[in-house]
Amino acid sequence: MFNFTPEHFDPMAAPALTFTARAPEDFPNWTFPTLDVEYDAESQALWMFYKEDSTPYFSLDTLQDVGDVRASVRELFASDRVATHPIRYFLMASKKPNVFNLGGDLAMFAQSIRDGNRAKLRLYARTCVDLVHSLSMAFDLPMVTLSVIGGQALGGGFEGALAEDFIVADEDARIGVPEVSFNTFPGMGAMTLLSRRLGAAGAETLIASGKVHSGQQMYDAGVIDIIAPAGRAQETAQAWMRDGGGRLFERRLAMAAARRRFFPVAAGELEAITDLWVECSCNVTPHDIRHMERLASAQKRLNAASANLP
Protein backbone atom coordinates (compact mmCIF):
# COMPACT_ATOMS: atom_id res chain seq x y z
CA MET A 1 0.00 0.00 0.00
CA PHE A 2 1.29 3.46 -0.93
CA ASN A 3 2.08 5.33 2.29
CA PHE A 4 4.23 8.39 1.77
CA THR A 5 4.75 10.57 4.81
CA PRO A 6 7.86 12.44 6.01
CA GLU A 7 8.14 9.98 8.90
CA HIS A 8 7.89 6.97 6.59
CA PHE A 9 10.38 8.21 4.05
CA ASP A 10 13.42 10.24 5.03
CA PRO A 11 14.79 12.14 2.01
CA MET A 12 17.89 13.19 3.90
CA ALA A 13 18.93 9.55 4.19
CA ALA A 14 19.85 9.47 0.50
CA PRO A 15 23.57 8.80 -0.07
CA ALA A 16 25.40 10.64 -2.83
CA LEU A 17 28.06 9.99 -5.45
CA THR A 18 31.31 11.94 -5.29
CA PHE A 19 32.27 13.71 -8.51
CA THR A 20 35.81 14.42 -9.66
CA ALA A 21 36.95 17.18 -12.01
CA ARG A 22 39.45 16.61 -14.78
CA ALA A 23 42.37 19.02 -14.88
CA PRO A 24 41.67 22.22 -16.85
CA GLU A 25 45.13 22.07 -18.43
CA ASP A 26 44.20 18.72 -20.02
CA PHE A 27 41.20 20.22 -21.83
CA PRO A 28 40.00 19.38 -24.45
CA ASN A 29 41.59 15.94 -24.08
CA TRP A 30 39.47 14.83 -21.15
CA THR A 31 38.44 11.18 -20.99
CA PHE A 32 35.46 9.54 -19.33
CA PRO A 33 34.53 5.82 -19.37
CA THR A 34 31.02 6.22 -20.85
CA LEU A 35 31.17 9.67 -22.45
CA ASP A 36 33.14 11.38 -25.21
CA VAL A 37 33.81 15.10 -24.83
CA GLU A 38 34.71 17.08 -27.96
CA TYR A 39 35.45 20.78 -28.41
CA ASP A 40 34.55 22.71 -31.57
CA ALA A 41 36.54 25.94 -31.74
CA GLU A 42 34.53 27.52 -34.56
CA SER A 43 31.24 27.46 -32.65
CA GLN A 44 32.95 27.53 -29.24
CA ALA A 45 30.93 24.48 -28.31
CA LEU A 46 31.57 21.60 -25.94
CA TRP A 47 29.82 18.41 -27.01
CA MET A 48 29.12 15.64 -24.51
CA PHE A 49 28.32 12.40 -26.34
CA TYR A 50 27.07 9.11 -24.96
CA LYS A 51 29.68 6.71 -26.28
CA GLU A 52 28.71 4.25 -29.01
CA ASP A 53 29.81 1.30 -26.85
CA SER A 54 28.25 2.53 -23.59
CA THR A 55 24.91 1.34 -22.24
CA PRO A 56 21.97 2.96 -24.06
CA TYR A 57 20.46 4.02 -20.72
CA PHE A 58 21.59 5.90 -17.63
CA SER A 59 23.65 3.46 -15.60
CA LEU A 60 25.17 4.71 -12.36
CA ASP A 61 28.48 4.76 -14.24
CA THR A 62 27.00 7.16 -16.80
CA LEU A 63 25.57 9.36 -14.06
CA GLN A 64 29.00 9.38 -12.42
CA ASP A 65 30.55 10.56 -15.68
CA VAL A 66 27.96 13.30 -16.23
CA GLY A 67 28.68 14.55 -12.72
CA ASP A 68 32.40 14.45 -13.43
CA VAL A 69 31.82 16.47 -16.62
CA ARG A 70 29.90 19.06 -14.60
CA ALA A 71 32.74 19.35 -12.07
CA SER A 72 35.30 19.54 -14.88
CA VAL A 73 33.49 22.29 -16.81
CA ARG A 74 33.10 24.36 -13.66
CA GLU A 75 36.80 24.01 -12.95
CA LEU A 76 37.58 24.97 -16.54
CA PHE A 77 35.55 28.19 -16.28
CA ALA A 78 37.37 29.04 -13.06
CA SER A 79 40.76 28.62 -14.76
CA ASP A 80 42.82 30.54 -17.32
CA ARG A 81 42.25 27.73 -19.81
CA VAL A 82 38.81 29.04 -20.75
CA ALA A 83 40.46 32.15 -22.23
CA THR A 84 42.09 30.03 -24.95
CA HIS A 85 39.19 27.58 -25.21
CA PRO A 86 36.05 29.71 -24.66
CA ILE A 87 32.74 27.87 -24.35
CA ARG A 88 29.47 29.42 -25.48
CA TYR A 89 27.47 26.23 -25.95
CA PHE A 90 27.22 22.91 -24.13
CA LEU A 91 25.55 20.08 -26.04
CA MET A 92 24.30 16.63 -25.07
CA ALA A 93 24.19 14.09 -27.90
CA SER A 94 24.80 10.42 -28.64
CA LYS A 95 27.08 8.39 -30.87
CA LYS A 96 24.96 5.27 -30.49
CA PRO A 97 23.09 4.49 -33.74
CA ASN A 98 19.35 5.21 -33.55
CA VAL A 99 19.46 5.91 -29.80
CA PHE A 100 19.81 9.14 -27.87
CA ASN A 101 19.10 7.58 -24.47
CA LEU A 102 16.55 4.99 -23.34
CA GLY A 103 16.21 6.33 -19.81
CA GLY A 104 16.60 4.53 -16.53
CA ASP A 105 18.44 1.32 -15.69
CA LEU A 106 15.33 -0.86 -15.66
CA ALA A 107 17.13 -4.04 -14.66
CA MET A 108 18.51 -2.30 -11.58
CA PHE A 109 15.10 -0.79 -10.83
CA ALA A 110 13.39 -4.19 -10.98
CA GLN A 111 15.98 -5.93 -8.81
CA SER A 112 15.98 -3.11 -6.26
CA ILE A 113 12.17 -3.26 -6.05
CA ARG A 114 12.25 -7.04 -5.60
CA ASP A 115 14.86 -6.62 -2.85
CA GLY A 116 13.03 -3.72 -1.21
CA ASN A 117 16.23 -1.69 -1.63
CA ARG A 118 14.91 1.84 -1.38
CA ALA A 119 18.38 3.18 -0.60
CA LYS A 120 19.74 2.16 -4.00
CA LEU A 121 16.74 3.60 -5.85
CA ARG A 122 17.04 6.77 -3.80
CA LEU A 123 20.76 7.12 -4.60
CA TYR A 124 20.02 6.72 -8.29
CA ALA A 125 17.02 9.06 -8.31
CA ARG A 126 18.63 11.77 -6.20
CA THR A 127 21.73 11.69 -8.42
CA CYS A 128 19.52 12.06 -11.50
CA VAL A 129 17.65 15.09 -10.21
CA ASP A 130 20.83 16.71 -8.93
CA LEU A 131 22.22 16.52 -12.47
CA VAL A 132 18.92 17.53 -14.07
CA HIS A 133 18.77 20.61 -11.87
CA SER A 134 22.36 21.54 -12.74
CA LEU A 135 21.68 21.09 -16.44
CA SER A 136 18.58 23.26 -16.17
CA MET A 137 20.85 26.00 -14.78
CA ALA A 138 23.64 25.41 -17.34
CA PHE A 139 25.88 24.38 -14.43
CA ASP A 140 25.49 28.00 -13.17
CA LEU A 141 27.78 29.10 -15.99
CA PRO A 142 27.30 31.62 -18.84
CA MET A 143 26.54 28.96 -21.45
CA VAL A 144 23.62 28.07 -23.68
CA THR A 145 22.79 24.35 -23.50
CA LEU A 146 21.29 22.13 -26.19
CA SER A 147 20.07 18.55 -26.40
CA VAL A 148 20.55 17.02 -29.84
CA ILE A 149 18.18 14.07 -30.26
CA GLY A 150 18.51 11.44 -32.93
CA GLY A 151 16.75 8.09 -32.60
CA GLN A 152 15.02 7.13 -29.35
CA ALA A 153 14.83 9.44 -26.33
CA LEU A 154 12.66 7.70 -23.75
CA GLY A 155 11.87 8.10 -20.06
CA GLY A 156 14.84 9.52 -18.20
CA GLY A 157 16.67 10.03 -21.48
CA PHE A 158 13.97 12.48 -22.50
CA GLU A 159 13.97 14.06 -19.03
CA GLY A 160 17.69 14.75 -19.35
CA ALA A 161 17.10 16.33 -22.76
CA LEU A 162 14.33 18.53 -21.35
CA ALA A 163 16.76 20.04 -18.85
CA GLU A 164 18.66 21.85 -21.62
CA ASP A 165 17.82 25.37 -22.79
CA PHE A 166 16.98 24.24 -26.33
CA ILE A 167 16.19 20.89 -27.93
CA VAL A 168 17.10 19.95 -31.50
CA ALA A 169 15.58 16.71 -32.79
CA ASP A 170 15.36 14.69 -35.98
CA GLU A 171 11.87 14.75 -37.42
CA ASP A 172 11.73 10.95 -37.16
CA ALA A 173 13.14 10.72 -33.61
CA ARG A 174 11.07 8.67 -31.16
CA ILE A 175 10.40 10.60 -27.96
CA GLY A 176 8.26 9.92 -24.90
CA VAL A 177 7.84 8.95 -21.27
CA PRO A 178 6.36 5.41 -21.24
CA GLU A 179 6.70 4.71 -17.51
CA VAL A 180 2.95 4.30 -17.05
CA SER A 181 3.27 0.98 -18.88
CA PHE A 182 4.77 -0.50 -15.70
CA ASN A 183 2.58 1.54 -13.35
CA THR A 184 5.02 4.24 -12.27
CA PHE A 185 5.64 7.73 -13.59
CA PRO A 186 8.69 9.64 -14.89
CA GLY A 187 10.07 10.90 -11.60
CA MET A 188 13.32 12.63 -12.59
CA GLY A 189 11.98 15.95 -13.78
CA ALA A 190 9.41 15.32 -16.51
CA MET A 191 6.47 16.97 -14.75
CA THR A 192 8.45 20.07 -13.85
CA LEU A 193 10.28 20.41 -17.16
CA LEU A 194 7.37 19.55 -19.46
CA SER A 195 5.15 21.99 -17.57
CA ARG A 196 7.57 24.76 -18.57
CA ARG A 197 6.90 23.94 -22.22
CA LEU A 198 3.31 22.63 -22.28
CA GLY A 199 1.68 23.92 -19.10
CA ALA A 200 0.68 21.59 -16.27
CA ALA A 201 -2.34 20.12 -18.05
CA GLY A 202 -0.39 19.41 -21.23
CA ALA A 203 2.43 17.81 -19.26
CA GLU A 204 0.02 15.57 -17.35
CA THR A 205 -1.71 14.51 -20.56
CA LEU A 206 1.54 13.55 -22.25
CA ILE A 207 2.82 11.68 -19.19
CA ALA A 208 -0.47 9.85 -18.56
CA SER A 209 -0.73 8.69 -22.18
CA GLY A 210 2.64 6.92 -22.10
CA LYS A 211 2.76 7.35 -25.87
CA VAL A 212 5.94 7.71 -27.91
CA HIS A 213 5.81 10.53 -30.46
CA SER A 214 7.91 11.52 -33.44
CA GLY A 215 10.24 14.47 -33.31
CA GLN A 216 7.95 16.29 -35.73
CA GLN A 217 4.93 15.69 -33.48
CA MET A 218 6.83 16.98 -30.47
CA TYR A 219 7.91 20.04 -32.44
CA ASP A 220 4.34 20.74 -33.49
CA ALA A 221 3.27 20.42 -29.83
CA GLY A 222 5.89 22.95 -28.73
CA VAL A 223 8.20 20.56 -26.87
CA ILE A 224 11.04 20.67 -29.40
CA ASP A 225 12.63 24.02 -30.31
CA ILE A 226 14.38 23.14 -33.57
CA ILE A 227 13.38 20.35 -35.96
CA ALA A 228 15.90 18.72 -38.28
CA PRO A 229 15.57 16.47 -41.33
CA ALA A 230 15.96 12.77 -40.51
CA GLY A 231 19.51 11.97 -39.42
CA ARG A 232 20.67 15.59 -39.41
CA ALA A 233 20.08 16.82 -35.87
CA GLN A 234 23.78 17.26 -35.09
CA GLU A 235 24.42 19.04 -38.40
CA THR A 236 21.41 21.30 -37.76
CA ALA A 237 22.63 22.13 -34.25
CA GLN A 238 26.06 23.00 -35.59
CA ALA A 239 24.61 25.35 -38.20
CA TRP A 240 22.33 26.96 -35.61
CA MET A 241 25.25 27.71 -33.29
CA ARG A 242 27.45 29.13 -36.03
CA ASP A 243 24.69 31.36 -37.36
CA GLY A 244 25.25 34.94 -36.22
CA GLY A 245 28.36 34.25 -34.16
CA GLY A 246 28.72 36.17 -30.91
CA ARG A 247 25.86 38.58 -31.63
CA LEU A 248 23.19 35.88 -31.72
CA PHE A 249 24.84 33.99 -28.89
CA GLU A 250 24.36 36.94 -26.54
CA ARG A 251 20.67 37.11 -27.41
CA ARG A 252 20.25 33.36 -26.92
CA LEU A 253 22.06 33.53 -23.59
CA ALA A 254 19.69 36.30 -22.48
CA MET A 255 16.68 34.28 -23.67
CA ALA A 256 17.87 31.23 -21.75
CA ALA A 257 18.39 33.32 -18.61
CA ALA A 258 14.90 34.80 -19.02
CA ARG A 259 13.39 31.31 -19.33
CA ARG A 260 15.12 30.20 -16.14
CA ARG A 261 13.90 33.26 -14.26
CA PHE A 262 10.32 33.01 -15.52
CA PHE A 263 10.11 29.19 -15.21
CA PRO A 264 12.50 28.41 -12.35
CA VAL A 265 13.31 24.78 -11.61
CA ALA A 266 13.54 24.31 -7.84
CA ALA A 267 15.88 21.61 -6.57
CA GLY A 268 13.55 20.91 -3.65
CA GLU A 269 10.62 20.30 -5.99
CA LEU A 270 12.63 17.80 -8.05
CA GLU A 271 13.79 16.03 -4.90
CA ALA A 272 10.29 15.77 -3.44
CA ILE A 273 8.89 14.35 -6.68
CA THR A 274 11.65 11.82 -7.06
CA ASP A 275 11.14 10.70 -3.45
CA LEU A 276 7.53 10.02 -4.41
CA TRP A 277 8.81 8.08 -7.44
CA VAL A 278 10.90 5.83 -5.20
CA GLU A 279 7.94 5.04 -2.96
CA CYS A 280 5.61 4.52 -5.91
CA SER A 281 8.11 2.20 -7.60
CA CYS A 282 8.48 0.10 -4.48
CA ASN A 283 4.72 -0.50 -4.43
CA VAL A 284 4.20 -1.78 -7.98
CA THR A 285 2.84 -5.29 -8.51
CA PRO A 286 4.81 -8.40 -9.53
CA HIS A 287 3.15 -8.10 -12.94
CA ASP A 288 4.56 -4.57 -13.30
CA ILE A 289 8.03 -5.75 -12.27
CA ARG A 290 7.96 -8.51 -14.87
CA HIS A 291 7.02 -5.98 -17.54
CA MET A 292 9.88 -3.77 -16.39
CA GLU A 293 12.23 -6.74 -16.71
CA ARG A 294 11.00 -7.47 -20.24
CA LEU A 295 11.76 -3.87 -21.20
CA ALA A 296 15.18 -4.19 -19.55
CA SER A 297 15.87 -7.22 -21.74
CA ALA A 298 14.90 -5.17 -24.77
CA GLN A 299 17.40 -2.49 -23.67
CA LYS A 300 20.14 -5.14 -23.51
CA ARG A 301 19.23 -6.57 -26.93
CA LEU A 302 19.37 -3.11 -28.46
CA ASN A 303 22.74 -2.51 -26.84
CA ALA A 304 24.07 -5.82 -28.21
CA ALA A 305 22.72 -5.09 -31.69
CA SER A 306 24.37 -1.66 -31.72
CA ALA A 307 27.68 -3.16 -30.60
CA ASN A 308 27.63 -5.54 -33.58
CA LEU A 309 27.12 -2.83 -36.18
CA PRO A 310 30.05 -2.49 -38.62
- Helix and strand tally (H, E) in the chain? 11, 10
Beta bridge partners, 154, equal 176
Task: Tell me what pLDDT residue 237 has.
Answer: 98
Cis peptide before 11 (omega within 30 of 0): no
Task: Tell me what pLDDT residue 307 has.
Answer: 54
Task: Tell me what pLDDT residue 303 has.
Answer: 67
Phi then psi dihedrals of residue 278, to 5 deg = -60, -50
Crossing angle of the two packed helices 60-77 and 118-136, in degrees rounded to 10: 30
Dihedral over alpha carbons 164, 222, 203, 136 (to 10 degrees): 10
Phi then psi dihedrals of residue 109, to 5 deg = -60, -50
Could you please report the per-residue DSSP string of 196-213? HHHHHHHHHHHHHH--EE
Q: Which domains does the chain have, with CATH numbers?
A: 11-233+246-307 (3.90.226.10)
**Spatial CB neighbours of 144, under 8 Å, sequence gap ≥ 6:** 88, 89, 90, 138, 165, 166, 249, 252, 253, 256
In this structure, is the dihedral angle defined by the CA atoms of residues 93, 215, 299 and 162, taken in order, positive or negative? Answer: positive
Phi then psi dihedrals of residue 5, to 5 deg = -140, 160
User: Measured between alpha carbons, how far is 153 from 99 in angstroms, rounded to an integer?
Assistant: 7
Phi then psi dihedrals of residue 138, to 5 deg = 50, 40
pLDDT along the chain (310 residues), means of 10: 42 67 98 98 97 95 97 98 97 96 96 95 95 96 98 97 98 97 95 95 96 98 97 97 88 94 92 96 96 90 60
